[in-house]
Amino acid sequence: MKIALLLQTLGKGGAERVASLLSQQFERDGHEVYVLLWEGVQHYPHGGTLTVLNTPATPSLVGKLLNLFKRAWLLRKWHKQHKPDLLISLMETANIPAALSGVPVVVSVHLDPRFELASYQRLLMKWLYPLPNVKARVAVSHGIAKVLETDFGIKNWQVIANPVDLVDIAQQKTLPRLPEVLTLQGDYVLGIGRLHPQKGFDLLIDAYAQSTLCRVKPLVILGEGDSRADLEAQIASHGLQDWVYLPGWANNPFPWFAGAWTFVMSSRSEGLGNTLIEAMACGCTCIAADCDFGPRDIILNEENGLLVAPESKTALSEALDKLYRQPSLHASLSAQAMLRAADYDLPHLAKHWLDILA
């Protein structure tokens, strides 16, 4: 089968990681694979042939609309030449021009369209996604699918979660932990993500500060973003500069998951929560805020992790204390987390994509 994956870039991000993994798995399975990018930004590896269509994002609304039609034209031209059996677009920057182009496409939505898209994108979704050339519509969580049906009036969504490569993770988690933090000793509480209010790291820092774990086990938050200065000031206000670390971006997060006492996803919103699945694949005991959707698709509370009230530092703190007081629960959740992660194994979910038009 000839398969094409279309997205903005292969830069750092959840959908980009999905494209990277799927393209490599499709190639391993013997398919002819193409990865199409609007911009030549690449952080993740890929399978198959990479083509950059060279239509980078522009800041103005007029520029965005002109870009939309240019992208649709370029995709139509590419499609006519290569004739893929399956074209998968990831995220609205790919979905919208692909739907507009008129070529057969499977669109996929990875975030909450109510809050994380511009108004013109939401309008275009309502108009374009029901078009007949959109052969299937995929959401990464049941919550996103429900919002798209009830709030946007777009029907017939299939749910395919983001995959993890369990074989690769088993290898990657044994590598050295980078960036190196020389003063970090023993295990730790871990958060990972963009330093942005959406990820709720301000809540996590406050929760840690009021928990019995404070100054017992350190807190490490991996990532970069615009909130770094605010988070550093918050850490200083608690006097926790020697206990809360912000070491930056980790190209390989898996050694960090493997060495963590507990992983905490404190997000105010998530599409699915890739890092949560990755943490569970490393046998990490997990706490997740039960935000609108994502974590509740992954965690069954007190069976393979803990779900707590969203946007609540008190709930996060109480969950940390509960795991600290109940080591048997902590151990049980760790074991069940690895079993749950098997449901997201890459070869299994890659097959779901191939079956989508059957």
CATH of the domain at 103: 3.40.50.2000
Same domain, 24 and 131: yes
Same domain, 191 and 309: yes
Closest CA to 274 of 265, 284, 262, 283: 265
Domain span holding position 81: 2-160
Please identify, among 132, 160, 188, the residue that sits at the C-terminal boundary of a domain.
Answer: 160
Element housing 216 (H / E): none
Please identify, among 114, 133, 160, the residue that sits at the C-terminal boundary of a domain.
Answer: 160
Residue 254, domain member (yes or no): yes
pTM of the model as a whole: 0.90
Same domain, 174 and 233: yes
Residue 308 in 3-state DSSP?
Answer: strand
Same domain, 72 and 182: no
Res 345: pLDDT: 97
Same domain, 245 and 209: yes
Same domain, 146 and 204: no
> Are 122 and 128 spatial neighbours (Cβ–Cβ below 8 Å)?
no
Same domain, 295 and 227: yes
Instruction: Give the distance, in angstroms, between the CA of residue 255 and the centroid of all CA atoms in the same chain.
Output: 18
Domain count, the chain: 2
Sequence-ordered alpha helix ranges (H) in the chain: 14-28, 61-82, 92-101, 113-116, 119-128, 142-150, 166-172, 201-210, 228-237, 254-259, 274-281, 295-298, 313-325, 327-341, 346-354
Same domain, 178 and 306: yes
The set of residues, in sequence order, having a beta carbon less than 8 Å from that of 150 and lying 6+ positions away, is none
Residue 46, domain member (yes or no): yes
Same domain, 142 and 206: no
Bridge-based pairing of strands 2-7 and 32-37 is parallel
Residue 244, domain member (yes or no): yes
Q: Phi then psi for 268, rounded to 5 degrees?
A: -80, -25
Residue 155 in 3-state DSSP?
Answer: coil
> Are 53 and 81 spatial neighbours (Cβ–Cβ below 8 Å)?
no
Same domain, 331 and 210: yes
Rounded Cα distance between 54 and 39, Å, is 5
Please identify, among 125, 160, 195, the residue that sits at the C-terminal boundary of a domain.
Answer: 160
Residue 349, domain member (yes or no): no
Res 112: pLDDT: 87
Rounded Cα distance between 295 and 307, Å, is 8
Residue 354, domain member (yes or no): no
Res 148: pLDDT: 96
Residue 132, domain member (yes or no): yes
pLDDT, averaged per 10 consecutive residues of the chain (358 residues), comes to 97 91 98 98 96 94 93 98 98 98 97 87 96 97 95 96 96 96 95 95 98 98 97 98 97 96 95 92 97 92 98 98 98 98 97 89
Residue 21, domain member (yes or no): yes
Residue 248, domain member (yes or no): yes
Same domain, 156 and 264: no
